[in-house]
Amino acid sequence: MGRIRLDSVTRKMLLPLVLASIAMLLGVLAILLSVREHTVEAAGIATAKAVASQIVNLRQFYTAEIATRAIQAGMQLDSEFEHRPGTLPLPATLVKALGKSIEREYPGMSIRLYSNYPFPNRVASERYDAFETRALTVLMAAPEQPQALLERRDGRRLLRLVVADRMQAGCVACHNARSDSPKRDWQVGDVRGAIEVTVPVDRIEGEIDRGILKVGLAVLAGILALAGVATFATRRAAGALQQLNRDLEDRVEARMADLSQANADLHQALHHIERSEPLAALGALIAGMAHELNTPMGNATLVLSTLTEQVAELNSALAANQLRKTQLEGFASAASQACALLERNLQRASALVADFKQVSADQVSQRRREFNLAELVDETLHTLAPSHKHSPVSINTSIPTEIRLDSYPGPLEQVISNLINNAVLHGMHDDQPLTISISACLVDTQSLQLTLSDNGRGMSPEVAAQAFQPFFTTRQGTGGTGLGLHLVHQLVYEVLGGSLTLDSQPGGGTRFDIRLPLQAPAAKA
């Protein structure tokens, strides 16, 4: 394990901090710039709304109070009031004149009135840009929705706000009565046109920019201060890490020796368990065989005891000189039946013992010999029958009788037994009938394929992916060791020289395809 260098640790720890700080600074600036635009627009709209509200109030007051009283006093209202003594400006003319005055005093600020219904003397001078045309269209349909635009003109930032110019009672009477009015059916509340207020927002924008600069400098100063603190902290941490690294090296070296010994012990234990697995299966087979032999041997014992009693009765009658012909004939008939029963039961027991001797000898010795595949499968199934005698399990075979192998029958019997036991243990569900099929066919002149399949519950993809791993079982604590399929995999590949594939789907059963050479490879030393 390499030593830790202080400078290297400091650089590695500071680099993410610097990158995070830069990202934070850029993020803050991006947020501030976005807020800047919204703030400038909101401030401009607020100012323009205030001016527009004052203009509307002034116009209403002028129309209701001054213009009305002037007309009652005999004065005239005219748009050319400047050139006609004794006249007052019309309300709209007053607003236009006020707008010109404000524009002269406050450059960049303006107040405009425009309409879709201009008086004939103003038609030639009315020119509307795209924003004004769109604003008029919107306000005619929705008078309560002011329109705003933030733009740059002649090097200045301006906020244009357009509100609806609605007809008041005094305005309706005047406009409907004038002969030169472009529309004479006005009603109170109708949209006559638009009032546009333009206000400069340069100063607001400048103040916000200065605030953003101050915030950026403050964040930068904070980042630099944080970097200094982080540098000091990482150097102290690096020193502690260096000492910890030395301690860990010593502890790792001490643990490596223990780990090597534990690994050797684990491999030895695994080897022992793998070797004991066939013996455990053989023990289960012996128990089943003993149970199966109890039936014919019990029958034979019962027949023999009955026959013994009849012989005793016959001897007694013969000694008393009371033996009758009918009694002798009955004894002969019973003895004949008893001999037939004894012969059948003893033959059955003899066949079971012969199959057991062959299978057990093969599994224990792993000797190599020539054998017929169909006969070996039948012998194996015969010895396994007692283990699932009381379960709804049926096994079908389809194996040509001419297939012969020069191989190791014991490991092959172990493979078949483990796969059948695995199907019974894991494939059955809710006592539903389980059907296991065993078939074989020649692939070519050198090899065959042996297939074992069932219609059981199947495996999920996650379980199937680990099925051949040692100690993996889905029945932990209920009798599963997790070595059955691992041993099958090991025997097929390492002893029989073949290959094995597994295909299984949840609820769709399980299928094992085993490809074996007709002549097994020589055993490894």
Domain boundaries, the chain: 6-200, 368-517
User: Is the pLDDT score of 507 beyond 80?
Assistant: yes
User: What is residue 4's predicted lDDT score, i.e. its pLDDT?
Assistant: 47
431 in Cβ contact with 456 (< 8 Å) = no
User: Is the pLDDT score of 440 beyond 90?
Assistant: yes
DSSP 8-state code for residue 519 = B
The alpha carbon torsion through 400, 406, 410, 411 (nearest 10 deg) reads -90
Span of 68-77, 373-382, 402-411, 487-496 with lowest mean pLDDT: 68-77
In 130-248, the DSSP E strands lie at 147-153, 156-166, 191-200
Which range in 335-349, 390-404, 467-481 is most confidently predicted, on average pLDDT? Answer: 390-404
pLDDT digits (tens, 9 = 90+) for 175-196: 887 777 888 888 888 888 889 9
Q: In what order do the strands lie in the sheet with 434-442?
A: 393-398, 434-442, 447-454, 510-517, 499-504
Q: 338: which 2 tokens?
A: 């008893």
User: What is residue 305's predicted lDDT score, i.e. its pLDDT?
Assistant: 78
User: Is the pLDDT score of 397 beyond 90?
Assistant: yes
280 versus 236: which is more confidently predicted? 236
Q: 404: which 2 tokens?
A: 């012969």
pLDDT digits (tens, 9 = 90+) for 84-127: 887 888 888 888 888 888 888 888 888 888 888 888 777 777 78
Report the alpha-carbon distance of residue 505 to residue 457 in Å, rounded: 8
User: Is the pLDDT score of 400 beyond 60?
Assistant: yes
Topology of the domain covering 368-517? Heat Shock Protein 90 (3.30.565)
User: Is the pLDDT score of 279 beyond 60?
Assistant: no
Report the alpha-carbon distance of residue 74 to residue 72 in Å, rounded: 5
**pLDDT average, residue stretch 299-316:** 77
User: What is residue 450's predicted lDDT score, i.e. its pLDDT?
Assistant: 96
Report the alpha-carbon distance of residue 321 to residue 302 in Å, rounded: 29
Say what percent of the chain tops pLDDT 70.
Answer: 82
User: What is residue 347's predicted lDDT score, i.e. its pLDDT?
Assistant: 67
Say what percent of the chain tops pLDDT 90.
Answer: 18
Span of 32-36, 345-349, 515-519 with lowest mean pLDDT: 345-349
Report the alpha-carbon distance of residue 436 to residue 453 in Å, rounded: 6
User: What is residue 93's predicted lDDT score, i.e. its pLDDT?
Assistant: 80
**pLDDT average, residue stretch 403-432:** 88
User: What is residue 362's predicted lDDT score, i.e. its pLDDT?
Assistant: 47
